[in-house]
Amino acid sequence: MTKTAYFLILFSILPSLLFAQSIDDAFSQEKMRKDLEVFKEIRLKTNSGLYKYRTAQQIDSIYNWANMQIDKSSTYRDFYNIILQLTDFEGSVHNNTSIREKLNQSLRAEKKGYFPYPIKWIEGEWIINFEKGEIPLGSEIISINNEKIEDIIKKLYKYYTTDGINKTGKQIGINYSFSKYYRLNYGLTDTFLVKYKKNKSSKINEITIKSIGYKNYYVNVKNRFSKPYDDVNYKDWKDNEIYIYKSIGKETGVLTINSFSMGNEEDSRHLKYVSFLDSVFTAIKKNDIKNLIVDVRYNGGGTDPNDLVTYSYLTDRNFSENKQAWISFKKIPHLKYIESKIPSFLRFLGVGKYNKWFQKEFYTEKENRFYQGPLSEDHKIRTPNKQAFKGKIYLLISPRIASAGSLFASMVAGNSNTTVIGEETMGGYYGHNGHTPFTYILPKSKISTSFSIVNLEQDVPKEKNQAYNRGIIPDFNVNQNFEDYLNQKDTQMNFTLDLIKKNSSE
């Protein structure tokens, strides 16, 4: 064997020796502590949202908890779950923590250990959302392996981040990936003892079911009973599906906006959307539409200024995107850990232009915060469009709404002529961390951790029913009921149409 061939083989073997190939592999507490220290330093110096919803005492307390958890931990999965708990505790929908792709590949290759059936939250209960399994469709789950389902769900919250202390948004992830989350939290499980109640029965039944593999679970998810109704929560919207307007009768219109991902001012998709809005609201005014249903239930965000342009047709006030925005650094911290293809020892050569941009954009320093200047586009004062709607607005919201979607929905919800219907959003009413995502790689575990660095205060009025650390709270809390679940009906839209009919007759 030549020396060159020897080194090629050696370097191909080294990665598998250095890094875990399964999330259940052993991982030393020494490495955990090193990565925890790095993770905390990154958060303290870079993440302006660290204390958005938590006090310094609370943050110190959870890091003390993390240190104590390491004392009880021995595997890569143990440490990953600790980092996930810290990530979720901060309360930002833009937070994300993930394992290396090779470990994801090993999860996808697992042939057993996964709970077989997708589940769904309906009317305060977690039910079986699969029609051809051993447990009847719609059965309420009481416990799995002698642990109450509500206790299990609380442990799985950390896998799907939302703004503040919002919980409804976490249902989006749990409804789809319950089995994966269960596996990440509890490890591989051969069998599951399930206690359940059939629909409209008080009798508790018990059954032991065998586990299945990762891929087979997601086959069942694709065949879940509710897919025809709730697939809108998970799909990537095609250009011709993003927005639509239709009339219902002579006095009511429905404007549906499923995303704001239509590019910036120069993008042809944005220009087409602006033209669509102008034609729609011209027609609304001409036809004397009195009630406008604005349906953004499946809008997870997108790009500026699509959200702001849309709001200009739904308001009678001058407004801006943000009241204020700030970051927590003058120069990008911890360059050697930031995700980049450039070797760490060379990164200082290219970072100068980015630091100059941050210093130009966030130039007002106050109490170790760097605020966006008043000339920023984000603080530009915008005016209502001449065709702005002046009738009654019925805003439909859901846990799916986040980021630019929740910014838009918050502004509309703050209007005096708006009635909000649906479920609390995962995106915050008063603000969020957004705009500029940073990703860091922890040195020992190679866990990737991402967050948005700009702390935003949205231009919305203070409302008694809106809490600082929650999503948008509806005026009418309306969830899909069990009967409508079985019949794939839209409870929220039907409620809204009935409310309009009632209001019109008064």
What number is the average pLDDT over the span 158-186? 97
342-364 mean pLDDT: 87
19 pLDDT more than 70: no
pLDDT, tens digit, 9 for 90 and up, residues 220-265 = 999 999 999 999 999 999 989 999 999 998 999 999 999 999 999 9
7 pLDDT tier (thresholds 50, 70, 90):
very low
**What value does the mean pLDDT take over residues 436-447?**
97
Q: Whose CA is closest to 367, among 339, 404, 326?
A: 326
Share of the chain above pLDDT 90, in %: 90
Q: Using CA atoms, how far apart are residues 2 and 240, in angstroms rounded to an integer?
A: 59
Helices (H) and strands (E) in the chain, counts: 16, 18
Backbone dihedral angles phi then psi of residue 260, each to the nearest 5 degrees: -110, 20
Indicate whether 11 pLDDT > 80.
no
Residue 48 pLDDT > 70: yes
What average pLDDT does the chain have? Answer: 94
In tens, the pLDDT along 285-320 reads 999 999 999 999 999 999 999 999 999 999 999 999
pLDDT band at 2; cut points 50, 70, 90 = very low
Token look-up 């805003």 returns: 395
C-alpha pair distances (Å), 38 with each of 15, 117, 455: 22, 38, 22
Over residues 53-82, mean pLDDT: 98
- Report the distance separating Cα 46 and Cα 40, nearest Å: 10
Cβ distance 212 to 471 under 8 Å? no
List pLDDT tens digits, range 213-227: 999 999 999 999 999
pLDDT for the residue numbered 20 = 54
Identify the residue with better confidence: 183 or 348.
183
Higher pLDDT, 276 or 505: 276
Q: Give the C-alpha separation, 81 to 67, whole Å.
A: 13
| Domains annotated on the chain, with CATH | 18-96 (no CATH), 119-233 (2.30.42.10), 239-343+354-505 (3.90.226.10)
Q: What pLDDT is recorded for position 447?
A: 98
Across residues 86-114, what is the average pLDDT?
Answer: 97
Distance of CA 52 to the CA centre of its chain: 17
- With 90 as the cut, is the pLDDT of residue 375 above it? no
Q: How far apart are CA 401 and CA 436, in angstroms?
A: 19
H-assigned helices in 157-291: 170-186, 214-222, 227-230, 268-286
- Check pLDDT > 50 for residue 106: yes
The mean pLDDT of 200-206, rounded to a whole number, is 93
Q: What is the pLDDT of residue 10?
A: 38
Q: In this prediction, what percent of the chain has a pLDDT beyond 70?
A: 96
Q: What is the pLDDT of residues 459-487, one digit of tens each?
A: 999 999 999 999 999 999 999 999 999 99
Using alpha carbons, list the distances in angstroms from residue 456 to 160, 166, 377, 437, 453: 21, 18, 14, 13, 9
Average pLDDT over residues 63-76: 98
- Res 3: pLDDT: 38
- What are the tens digits of pLDDT across the range 407-439? 999 999 999 999 999 999 999 999 999 999 999
CB 178 within 8 A of CB 130: no
More confident residue, 11 or 205: 205
Say yes or no to pLDDT of 493 above 60.
yes
